[in-house]
Structure 1
Amino acid sequence: MSDNIFENEFSDEGFWNKAKKYARVAGESVLEPALKMYYAAQDPDTPAWARTTVYGALGYFITPIDAIPDISPFVGYSDDLGVLVAATAAIAAYIKQEHTDRAKAKLTEWFD
């Protein structure tokens, strides 16, 4: 069992539902690290500890209980961004260019 309670909150469906539903509100600055980590976690080269870190951060992102409610305009996703940036830094060595490219392609699909 994981020590990260938010890892248990993660699901592919929950992640994609929240990302699509709140894409415009959360913005690219929140979604880009989330997508990069998501794609890195799907990569079999990413070690288990890094996937656990990713799923914990993404679990926090999709959980309805936040330090700052997501419905707060402009600041509602600042805690999510902080968690995502910290997790991204922790697993940065495992985020490949292909993960970044896929994240940017998805953002272009959603925002252009």
Structure 2
Amino acid sequence: MADPTDSETETFDTGKFERDRQRVEQGFWPKLRRIAGRIPFLDELLAAYYCAVDPASPLKVKAVLMGALAYFVLPFDAVPDFLALFGFADDAAVVYAAIKMVAKHITPAHRAKAQAALQKLET
């Protein structure tokens, strides 16, 4: 997959980015705390979150990740989260695709913050 930061001529919808950012800001942590024990890709989700909110991350990287994180936060999506075994499959696919697109921007520092957050969630 192409890195979204490779092409500076590409544009994205800044209004959508702002709506996604607000949705993530309001809903990410509450949803995560509620369902953390049921998410098999929690470490990657948290690393993506920390990359998306990092001021040093390029805006296009933030836009890609915020879109994926906003999809995760949505209460209703392609496969409802309450369905056993399948509920997070679509969320995982969206997050995985976004991470693959921007993988070189998810740093060891983002992963360290994710691990620290995981430890706090477990206590």
Which of the residues 54, 68, 83 maps onto 2:79?
68
Matched, 1:110 2:92: no
Q: Distance in 2 between matches of 1:45 and 1:31?
A: 23
Q: Deviations over 1:32-72 (max 9, x none)?
A: 22211111112222111100001100000000121111000
Structure 2: tracts of 5 or more residues without a match = 1-11
Distance 1:82 1:17, change over 3 A: same
Partner secondary structure for residue 45 of structure 1: coil
> Runs of 4 or more off by more than 4 Å in structure 1?
3-7
Shift of 1:89: 0.8
Q: Return the offset for 1:8.
A: 2.5
Q: Identify if the C-alpha distance between structure 1 residues 39 and 49 changes in structure 2 by more than 3 Å, giving closer, same or farther.
A: same
Out of 52, 64, 72, which is 1:41 matched to? 52
- 2:64 corresponds in structure 1 to 53
Task: Give the aligned partner of residue 11 of structure 1.
Answer: 24
Kindly indicate whether residue 113 of structure 2 is the aligned counterpart of residue 89 of structure 1.
no
* Pair 1:60–1:86, CA change in 2 (3 A): same
Gaps of 5+ in 1: none
- Larger-gyration structure (1/2): 2
Name the CA shift for 1:75/1:5 in 2 (closer, same or farther; >3 Å).
farther
1:72 counterpart SS class: coil
SS at match of 1:81: helix
**Identity of matched residues, %:** 34
| C-alpha distance in 1 between matches for 2:48 and 2:56 | 13
Q: CA RMSD in A?
A: 2.1
| Superposition TM-score, scaled by structure 2 size | 0.79
